[in-house]
Amino acid sequence: MTELTKILPQRQQRVDARAALSVWQRMERSRIERLFQEGAAKIRLPRVSGDPLEAVLINTAGGLTGGDRIAWSVDVGDGTSAVVTTQACERIYRSSGGTAQATVSLKAGADARLAWLPQETILFDGSAFSRTISADLEPGASALFVEAVLFGRLRMGEVLRRGLYRDRWRIRRGGKLVHAEEFAIGPEVADALEMAAVTGGRKAIATVLYIGDDADGFLAQARDVIGEDGGASVWSIGDSGKLLARLAARDGYDLRKRLVPLIGLLNGKAGLPKTWSI
């Protein structure tokens, strides 16, 4: 180490990445119109025999920590269908300063079908993470959104005691706001999770939102899949149907045992992405 580097503060390298995908209808198939990648954000498209198009998001940095930023943008055109998932769980590591931020921007054209199905986000002790999801759906479009979070990994002996986690959703259909939510927990995460009004000690949660004209037809089956640790409700907002489900579990494995069949139910013939398994 030189005398100069002893004096100057050491600047840590941070992730600043973004990727965008747009899909259009050509020759009666959903195909790539535009693909953009920068930094650690990559998108891969496995070969499929027909619709929907499947996109796999990859963070080549291997995770996020304080000060990192990653942004994903997906636009599916009129009449197209796409399933978007991740290669692996996103890991949020201990922060030495600042908050890791993820921004998700989604659009679906008229009569399009979009499924946002990333694998779980794993929060490690001392992590700080903020995520924003915004979606604009045209009339006639349907969309499935899934976000699952693990507060530590019990089977690996990793316990999250302190940290910060914030999640913000804004979903519009036909220009009308049909779903909005804000979730925040921390800094004493473990203590908050023990409260009955939060998760009652469960360390894995998931939010599942389906927007579509046929949402009410899934309610009874969704409740059967979810069981005691969670619930589901259906609303009509203008011309939009909306099913919202919450799940809680002891750990990620128990969560997946119910989350996988629920995704299969709500995602129709598209089923589960290839990267998902129990």
261: three-class secondary structure by DSSP: helix
In the predicted structure, residue 105 carries a pLDDT above the cut 90:
yes
Instruction: Report residue 14's pLDDT band, with 50, 70 and 90 as the boundaries.
Output: confident
> 222 φ, ψ to 5°?
-65, -40
Per DSSP bridges, beta strands 128-137 and 100-108 are parallel
* Per-residue confidence (pLDDT) for residue 275, from 0 to 100: 85
Instruction: Report residue 176's pLDDT band, with 50, 70 and 90 as the boundaries.
Output: very high
* Per-residue confidence (pLDDT) for residue 13, from 0 to 100: 67
Q: Where are the domains of the chain?
A: 15-270
Rounded Cα gap, residues 153 and 159, in angstroms = 6
115-154 pLDDT per residue, tens: 999 999 999 999 999 999 999 999 999 999 999 999 998 7
pTM: 0.92
Instruction: Report residue 276's pLDDT band, with 50, 70 and 90 as the boundaries.
Output: confident
Instruction: Report residue 11's pLDDT band, with 50, 70 and 90 as the boundaries.
Output: low
Cβ atoms of 71 and 38 within 8 Å: the answer is no
What count of other Cβ atoms lies within 10 Å of the Cβ of residue 221?
14
15-65 pLDDT per residue, tens: 899 999 999 988 888 999 999 999 999 999 998 888 899 999 999 999 999
- Is the omega angle on the peptide bond into residue 52 within 30 degrees of 0, that is, cis? yes
Instruction: Report residue 274's pLDDT band, with 50, 70 and 90 as the boundaries.
Output: confident
In the predicted structure, residue 208 carries a pLDDT above the cut 80:
yes
Of 21, 245, 70, 231, nearest in space to 144 by CA = 245
CA separation (Å) from 264 to 17, 206, 259, 267, 272? Answer: 31, 15, 9, 5, 6
In the predicted structure, residue 4 carries a pLDDT above the cut 50:
no
Inter-residue long-range contacts of 185-191, CB under 8 Å, 24+ positions, other chains counted: 186/128, 186/162, 187/162, 187/163, 188/161, 188/162, 189/123, 189/151, 189/160, 189/161, 189/162, 189/163, 189/165, 190/151, 190/159, 190/160, 190/161, 190/162
* Per-residue confidence (pLDDT) for residue 9, from 0 to 100: 47
